[in-house]
Amino acid sequence: MTRQPLIEYAVVIPTIGRAGLAQLVATVDGEPAPARIVIADDRPDPAPSLHLPETRAPLLVVGTHGRGPGAARNAGWRAAGTEWVAFLDDDVSVPVDWCSRLVHDLQDLPGDVGASQAWLHVPLPAGRRPTDEERRATGLVGARWITADMAYRRTALLATGGFDERFPRAFREDSDLALRTVRAGFTIVWGDRVTTHPITSRGGWRSSLRAQAGNADNALMRAKYGWRWRRLAATGPGRTGRHIASVAAAGTVVVAMIAGHRRTAKAAGSLWALLTAEFVIERVLPGPRTAREIATVLATSVAIPPLALLHRARGELAVRQPGRRKAADRPGAVLFDRDGTLIENIPYLADPRGVRPLPSAGRVLTALRRNGIAVGVVSNQSGVARGLITPAQLDSVNARVDALLGPFDTWQVCPHDPTDGCSCRKPQPGMVVAAAAELGIPTQECVLIGDTGADVDAALTAGARAVLVPTAETLQAEVDRASVVAAVAPNLAAAVRRSVGRLP
């Protein structure tokens, strides 16, 4: 019989289909057992089926269709629904007792600890120094906030909104989330577990050129945290200044030669040669110094400075475009809980004659529709599963709500019992995700207004915004928490104003 873990945790593995995925899944299906293993398949469509082993823990595969590691990790933790979420890269290997080591690291952590980071072991190549390409992996040893093995508390993910999906590659998105977690009042601690991250050669001699695309992500970090972002993220000083000097010197050579200023061209050429030589030496000395490695470094050291600056310029332009904002100032849709939010809360309402809209419900819905904002209903109705109301009675009540307050652009209803383990019943995100899909808008452009903590959690887990409108039945703990991770409004009209501003 499988022992229950001392704490509730899930394992999330974003994947692009690497060969070691099956073995990793088999290893994390250990003891104490995770509540769920979530595979976030980020391969572009169409993609063949993943070959995954049978597991004792529930195994769920969610697809993010090539949207990037941030989107994959967000989809994974939102589907997990557990107190702790342990993120693993699909190319790491963990010891057979990793589950017990993880639980040991997480057990008894204070509530202000938002994440626990593993130590990474990167095996060096046997009998030689690592190449320039391989040293990018060795730099992970001791680096802060690497999500190759990082466990986050769900409340921290809800408070921050998770990973910023504007980072399109596995670069800087982990530092960004960690910085926002610390700014939200949480701390991040080191655990005792150790995970092995392999050195792999994936790009050949061009890999250092492809890596320069990360400079665009550096621009986003600068936009979010200012020019001191490197110090905040505990990363190296970078070479942007020297790259600018190198490219400027090379450009001066060309202009001076065209203008016939040979002395200026010679001086600028000497500066360019000096900067390039310094860059080559910096990259060659720690490596194996073979003829192939030296030739690769020589060729790429000439190309990297202008390429790095081009990517940085592309990133700086992108972060200034309004379309790069994480969500629009005005949402595309406002979703409402039904009972206690739009109509009076009568438990297991079976008679449509008992539908009584709450004050201002009709007025705010009309204003939203007039301003082109979609409206919808997301409602738990477990009375169906419990046999307290029939599906036909539920349909007649909803039809009455639609007649009095509609038309609604989407209706999402969960008829399941809380013990059914479905993915649609709030606080699970299923209905919010389904509503956004039906409306054809991202979940980030939705707001959910409701009267319980389950409404808030469903919205935040789906990536939407949330506003809590407390009633006499709302727990004070739910109000206190919503005031931190979402928003609280005294009534429905105020909640709509908090969501979309004043409407004409």
The set of catalytic residues is: 337, 339
Q: Are 192 and 105 in contact (CB under 8 A)?
A: yes
Cα distance between residue 459 and residue 276, in whole Å? 52
- What is the residue-wise DSSP string for 54-82? --SS-EEEEE-TT--HHHHHHHHHHHH-S
Pairing of strands 84-88, 149-153: antiparallel
Local structure of 432: helix, strand or coil: helix
Cα distance between residue 449 and residue 368, in whole Å? 13
Q: Are 102 and 194 in contact (CB under 8 A)?
A: no
Cα distance between residue 391 and residue 380, in whole Å? 13
The interaxial angle of helices 262-284 and 240-259, nearest 10 deg, is 150
- What is the residue-wise DSSP string for 329-383? SS-SEEEE-SBTTTB---TT---GGG--BPTTHHHHHHHHHHTT-EEEEEEE-TT
State the sign of the Cα–Cα–Cα–Cα dihedral 18, 158, 421, 104: positive
Instruction: Write the CA distances from 385 to 348, 355, 434, 482, integer angstroms.
Output: 11, 21, 20, 29
3-state SS, 244-265, equals HHHHHHHHHHHHHHHHCCHHHH
Strands in 113-121's sheet, in edge-to-edge order, are 59-63, 36-41, 9-15, 84-88, 149-153, 113-121, 187-196
Q: If we measure between CA atoms, which residue out of 360, 293, 335 comes closest to residue 432?
A: 335
Q: If we measure between CA atoms, which residue out of 445, 443, 419, 418 comes closest to residue 431?
A: 443
Q: In this structure, what token pair is assigned to residue 151?
A: 């466990």
Q: Is 231 exposed, middle or buried (0-12, 13-18, 19+ CB in 10 A)?
A: exposed
